[in-house]
Structure 1
Amino acid sequence: MSPKLRRIQENALFLLPSVILTMALGIYPLLWVLRYMFYDYKGYGSELFVGLDNFRRLFRDDLFWDSVVNTLVFAGGKLAITIPLSLLLAVLLNASFRGRNFLRAVFFMPTVVSTAVISVVFYILFNAYNGMVNQQLLKYGLISEPINWFGPDYAMVTVILVAAWGAVGNYMLLFLAGLQSIPRDLYESAEIDGANTWQSFWRITVPMLGPVMQVIIMLAIIASLKGYESIMVMTEGGPIGKTEVMYLYLYKLLFPVSTGSPVEQQLGYGSAVGFASAVIVGAITALYYYLSRKMNRVF
């Protein structure tokens, strides 16, 4: 056996476990979904081929399209808070001062804590009757009566704030990595030329962070559109569907018992909803990627 062929066999053996896991945990479930979205299948062993009926139902399903709108609102609000705040924190913590490593760890800590734990803590804090948030606002006279943070008027705002709080540390760390790759000589040259801190930020930091920021925003868009865990813990999509997002709606179709949903398990229709949700997320991500690439060519 030639050395080249031996190396090919050795590489193939090293890759084999990863290929098997990818096939078992990635490809097979995908094929399962692609098959059952054409069936009326409720998980009891009975399969009834219905063709495109699941998709016809999908286009008439107001609950699903309401969840799409809620997803866009949730993702937009989360991005509007997370990206600027994480960039600001990264810039501040990139400076040299005593205790910066401790502050980096503090802001990054929510990323490694379970989403369920974070959601339970914030559910207690935002409780309308004895939550600390209302108590402090009443104490300082900022409100005259307790606010129902999980009511129809404020539920979406509350879940956006909690989700943003949990995500800021992750993107802050990515921005920090990008900032530390910018040569210090550029800032020294700008300082010699008379540029102030604000001018250096807009003329050096932001352009040099462009490629990193493009990737960070794409990751943030995907995570925001697919996020539902904190909503499931705090509101379960309520009240009256105000915080029902796509993947929470999908979860309720596939696992109704765990969410307390009165709807029976619908694996066939849930597969169609999952496919449509993935197409929507992919389309939005592709649109952002196209626009960001186009802006790079312009500027």
Structure 2
Amino acid sequence: MSCILKIREVYQELTPTEQKIANYVIEHGDQVSVLSAAELGELVKTSPPSIVRFARKLGYAGFQEMKLGLVKDAALQHKQQDKIYEAVSIHDSTKEIIYKIGKENMKAIEETMSVVDETEMAKAIDAMTKANHINIYGVAASGLVGLDLQYKLMRINKKSSMYMDSHTQLASAIHMGKGDVAVGISHSGRTLETYKAIETAKKRGATIISITKYGKNPISDLADINLFTASVEKNLRTGAIASRIAQLSIVDILFVGIARNNFNEVSKYIQATREIVEDFKV
């Protein structure tokens, strides 16, 4: 995962001093890659140990490894691309909105694929394939993603339920047990309703799968299996659009993986659901 993307994904969790470092790295990544911790500290008016702690917060062993990350990820190119992926403005023409939203969605998918952990995804697919029952939790835009996952699972006859209301979430979670799977979907990883639901399910012995943005957050900390997405929220709720697209990409991977594990039976189920709704086509 690119160094710049790591910074953007954890930016809101950084301290004011760390945000000052982050801003400088994003704007001057090519320059930072040849500086020492002391030199960067002097430029942003902080100490070398603060620079090292910042690098470690991003998951690097130290500042030197972070600099290597900047070199590998071509930080200068990232900075230039960001001029294309601007937030939608109220002054934009229809043509500009079409272009920006299209680019933002493509960027969300591309960057999400760069943070998907193959091992974690395989574990999630295996757990859901073997699950007695799957409960899906999410609210607002993430709830719509949950409904899409539940619909896909229904088509292949996989027992699942989706809950968006906090009361029904908790009522369903309390009846989960070993062999069940709870999927918590939240872009921020901090949605209280979703957190409470998977916390309850975990106490009952269910396996917890989280779908959140990349980085440390309460929901991913609670989960047994973490599936991360990458999209940076911007003005006019375009972030909610991009994060939904990223989450739907994860849902599609899960669905295809589960279907692959039981392909012969799944083919019959999909054909049956296709035939049953055929009469409703005009």
TM-score tier by shorter-chain length is under 0.3
Return the structure number with greater relative CO, CA threshold 8 A, min gap 6. 1
Structure ranking higher in helix proportion: 1
TM-score w.r.t. length of structure 1 = 0.26
Structure ranking higher in strand proportion: 2
